[in-house]
Structure 1
């Protein structure tokens, strides 16, 4: 097995690498050994300039890493870092050929490198707008998926009825209506006669009133609710308000306009909770025959929009699942499709790798301006962008947000960044785009779905369980221990990359095919468990008065 610097990547500027057969050359033509420990690879070197390698399994003091010429000085958990060079206090530490922090204590060769001797630090980053931009060569015969074509031309991967609350005050009624249509494999209930309807989804939230109607937060909520109401994966929409809230249900704009498949009312207008629930059930029942009347047909992959997520990340995320997903994204883009990279605070420190491949300097500037907003937002809130990683991330081997970001950005593959969108903004470009969202997965994915994502791909190293109806979510394990422990929640295993049994490209090809299968109707593990209704989480920015 070898590690390669991606073509066009130079030390200190690029994050690319690949894991392939043992005789694979790097970009300069020389083999870079990934360090074999007996019959198993002990560590992974990601870049020739790196100060650390990553442990493939737990290492003990006294273990010798033959390919590095290093003797381990202390216990190192799997996924954590081992120093291969001496680093003085205050000096930068490199992983991926990039700065992941500075040494807070002297680091000796063989040391375990983590929170006790590595800390977050700011450093100059050259955005070099568009210097690495390259045209993407589209395939001559693009693939298709078996999707649902709506009457207005939109392409769907699922077929739900959605019930949207305008305000938290109508949440109980909305949930009660959806519960009346709850379906299990054993008991389809009221949906027994409607096999083409995937379910009835309650979309409730915790705001909608006591906020500034002219403020940014209110605009974000409206945009999110509009995006869901207009989402192609909903065959019918029922919108319910209380009646006296700031976010008036009649004022939420929906492109397809009111009619039999888009209706609205308020609890106060219909005479209270009991009548509102009864009326809601009747309205959904009236929609079902029409919503059920669909047939899947071949739809070009250019109409597939995939939201990219990583949650519960570990030290392997940026080595296995994320770059494998990036390979799948490159394939999707070459077939004309769209991928949405997000989680702005978790790209912090790696944004220069995206601006370098921005299609135009204007796109790079749009991304940098979002980081300016986040820095001001964090200061206003008395917070810092480096409050990542989480407790679980650190247990899995990630030490700083810089390290987490460099691994997270690999989900976006290698093609040009073609546009940047605000939270829940409708995505219209084809190719790799960026949407400004928080790093918290439910909030981030909610914005992506509101923007039009009709599939989510979600990598995890610690075992995140997540879904986001009406959009299916594929879960990709970064390591085989997670796959074995929590296979019930995982759709794919990228952990075999660590063991050297498969390459990033091979796993990426599998992810690409899984995208097509899932978009064509094959249910993901999160769908089988019923995840997705409770995970609707619009970004709350408004001050609540």
Structure 2
């Protein structure tokens, strides 16, 4: 029989309902009988003792809120009786040691990737087109239409066929067209548009330059075509400087065109098409080779989280992160608003004082901008989060941080900075799904693991995004977007370690091109830069 409750940490004074519970229901928990005094939906929390007003609520072993009303033992926690609260952190307060997981079975495992001249290894081979300024978005869209129609497989659009049938009176079944063969079998062509590059503060343009430079330098990219208008804030030289700062000796082909120097749109596009075709043709000759797992660089993301995310999907990612770090790979943990409340643990895990100070400085500066805008990190949980049991930001954060496992923090990066150290890196980004995923790929992630309890279709133009569900109901309901289901952890059928090893096997297949993640199959190519104002 499935357990009805789970206490995540021995010091917790709340438990998570694994199934729906009725008021007045008797539960045998930790060898004691407990009576529920309210209905408790699965994923929500209930008190394990009587709480007075102001009582500290502990979950995952950390402070996640305080009681704003009296709460009886066995009563459900809600936004009506609990308020966000987290401990203040000033610096390291404890020593840290780490016991890596057993990696003996993984030491000789490999994946098939794309070698880059600088030693990085890609899980994809992509040629990207992007503008330096939004004024060039239309030209990017024109190029996208041309290249996709002439180079790439045209899959049957069943929705368009359905509409055609309806227009014709619904008298015939939608026609099914056979797929054609791609002109190039070993290269993907992707197109990025964005609303930036001009019209905002210069710092935003400089930040965008770093992000776009990171995309060019990402190991999944073979080459790039870049469009500029000419008069925008994000000048070509600013972009080149950003690229040089990341990789002074970059040897990838980067084709840059400035419309105001080239005359008519027709002349510019004709030149771009000819030059880019030659570059894409050469990039298609790059073949996959065999590499150790140390060349994997995983981004760790969660979105549409629920009350199970922090006890199934996120810890599974954390175990994979620990395995890869032990194998000398790289993991990136971002979403700084969702680290609120677990700062002390992360500070203590920093390998040096400078990293610890940088992390706290970035957190405090970010939070100040949010407060100055009349909001706060406590406003982070979305209506969907709250509905499914994540009622305070600290509660959400404590579960979200589980994606980072238990390994030391080797470096702390500000938004737009590129990874240089092997191990677990912290990257300052918003909690917004797409902005955070966009940033991790810009910092060098060649694959992204994305947990969700409610379902979200987020993907990326150049890096495979593997969607991991926290519960089996979601995996069944939205099977078109979910790659891996960690619901067996909730059911007691698998341990976190077993689930983590299964996920790593899946990652190896995706990284080798043997399996296409659902986000890639759906062409879910999301790209949203962070304007350094306020974004949660």
TM-score between both structures, scaled by the size of structure 2 = 0.89
Tell me, in whole angstroms, the C-alpha distance in 2 between the residues paired with 1:135 and 1:40: 31
Match of residue 185, structure 2, among 183, 186, 195: 195
Using the TM superposition, name which of 129-138 and 296-305 deviates more: 129-138
Match in the other structure for 1:117: 81
Match of residue 298, structure 1, among 272, 290, 305: 290
Say yes or no: does 1:208 pair with 2:197: yes
Tell me, in whole angstroms, the C-alpha distance in 1 between the residues paired with 2:225 and 2:153: 22
Tell me, in whole angstroms, the C-alpha distance in 2 between the residues paired with 1:471 and 1:363: 27
Using the TM superposition, name which of 434-443 and 274-283 deviates more: 274-283
Say yes or no: does 1:90 pair with 2:54: yes
Q: Alpha carbons of 1:130 and 1:137: their partners in 2 closer, same or farther (altered >3 Å)?
A: farther
Note the C-alpha offset of 1:280: 2.8
Contact 1:130 1:357 (8 Å CA) reproduced: no
Note the C-alpha offset of 1:382: 2.4
Note the C-alpha offset of 1:189: 9.2
Match in the other structure for 2:232: 245
Superposed CA offset, 1:459-478 (max 9, x none): 00010111112011100000
Tell me, in whole angstroms, the C-alpha distance in 1 between the residues paired with 2:62 and 2:333: 20
Tell me, in whole angstroms, the C-alpha distance in 2 between the residues paired with 1:57 and 1:272: 64
Q: Alpha carbons of 1:258 and 1:174: their partners in 2 closer, same or farther (altered >3 Å)?
A: farther
Tell me, in whole angstroms, the C-alpha distance in 2 between the residues paired with 1:311 and 1:538: 17
Using the TM superposition, name which of 405-414 and 153-162 deviates more: 153-162
Contact 2:320 2:500 (8 Å CA) reproduced: yes
Q: Alpha carbons of 1:514 and 1:150: their partners in 2 closer, same or farther (altered >3 Å)?
A: same
Q: Alpha carbons of 1:204 and 1:249: their partners in 2 closer, same or farther (altered >3 Å)?
A: farther
Match in the other structure for 2:161: none
More helix as a share of residues: 2
Say yes or no: does 1:50 pair with 2:3: no
Note the C-alpha offset of 1:136: 5.2
Unaligned 5+ segments in structure 1 are 1-38
Contact 1:138 1:336 (8 Å CA) reproduced: no
Q: What SS does the aligned partner of 1:470 have?
A: coil
Using the TM superposition, name which of 105-114 and 378-387 deviates more: 378-387
RMSD between aligned residues: 2.2
Q: Alpha carbons of 1:322 and 1:137: their partners in 2 closer, same or farther (altered >3 Å)?
A: closer
Q: Alpha carbons of 1:374 and 1:258: their partners in 2 closer, same or farther (altered >3 Å)?
A: closer
Say yes or no: does 1:153 pair with 2:153: no
Q: What SS does the aligned partner of 1:359 have?
A: coil
Contact 1:478 1:493 (8 Å CA) reproduced: yes
Say yes or no: does 1:465 pair with 2:454: no
Contact 1:142 1:336 (8 Å CA) reproduced: no
Q: Alpha carbons of 1:515 and 1:185: their partners in 2 closer, same or farther (altered >3 Å)?
A: farther
Note the C-alpha offset of 1:441: 1.3
Match in the other structure for 1:31: none
Match in the other structure for 2:147: 181
Note the C-alpha offset of 1:133: 3.6
Superposed CA offset, 1:235-276 (max 9, x none): 120000122211123541234789893211122222243433
Figure out how many residues of one structure are paired with residues of the other and give that number: 500
Tell me, in whole angstroms, the C-alpha distance in 1 between the residues paired with 2:376 and 2:333: 22
Match in the other structure for 2:300: 308
Match in the other structure for 1:536: 527
Superposed CA offset, 1:22-45 (max 9, x none): xxxxxxxxxxxxxxxxx2211111
Using the TM superposition, name which of 241-250 and 188-197 deviates more: 188-197
Tell me, in whole angstroms, the C-alpha distance in 2 between the residues paired with 1:542 and 1:75: 41
Tell me, in whole angstroms, the C-alpha distance in 1 between the residues paired with 2:5 and 2:254: 56
Match in the other structure for 1:525: 518
Contact 2:86 2:394 (8 Å CA) reproduced: no
Contact 1:106 1:117 (8 Å CA) reproduced: yes
Tell me, in whole angstroms, the C-alpha distance in 2 between the residues paired with 1:393 and 1:184: 38
Say yes or no: does 1:407 pair with 2:407: no
Note the C-alpha offset of 1:314: 0.6
Q: Alpha carbons of 1:55 and 1:209: their partners in 2 closer, same or farther (altered >3 Å)?
A: same
Note the C-alpha offset of 1:386: 1.3
Match in the other structure for 1:221: 208
Match in the other structure for 1:128: 92
Q: What SS does the aligned partner of 2:480 have?
A: helix
Note the C-alpha offset of 1:66: 1.3
Say yes or no: does 1:436 pair with 2:428: yes
Using the TM superposition, name which of 474-483 and 364-373 deviates more: 364-373
| Structural mapping, 1:7-18, within 5 Å | none
Contact 1:146 1:299 (8 Å CA) reproduced: yes
Tell me, in whole angstroms, the C-alpha distance in 2 between the residues paired with 1:219 and 1:330: 34
Q: Alpha carbons of 1:424 and 1:133: their partners in 2 closer, same or farther (altered >3 Å)?
A: farther
Q: Alpha carbons of 1:252 and 1:286: their partners in 2 closer, same or farther (altered >3 Å)?
A: same
Tell me, in whole angstroms, the C-alpha distance in 2 between the residues paired with 1:97 and 1:265: 55
Match in the other structure for 2:326: 334
Tell me, in whole angstroms, the C-alpha distance in 1 between the residues paired with 2:201 and 2:17: 51
Superposed CA offset, 1:203-238 (max 9, x none): 21111112343x3x2321111011112222121200
Unaligned 5+ segments in structure 2 are 157-177
Q: What SS does the aligned partner of 1:487 have?
A: coil
Match in the other structure for 1:78: 42
Note the C-alpha offset of 1:435: 0.5
Match of residue 221, structure 2, among 223, 234, 242: 234
Match in the other structure for 1:451: 443
Q: What SS does the aligned partner of 1:497 have?
A: helix
Match of residue 344, structure 1, among 336, 349, 359: 336
Q: Alpha carbons of 1:130 and 1:286: their partners in 2 closer, same or farther (altered >3 Å)?
A: farther
Contact 1:227 1:452 (8 Å CA) reproduced: yes
Q: Alpha carbons of 1:392 and 1:149: their partners in 2 closer, same or farther (altered >3 Å)?
A: same
Tell me, in whole angstroms, the C-alpha distance in 2 between the residues paired with 1:461 and 1:260: 39
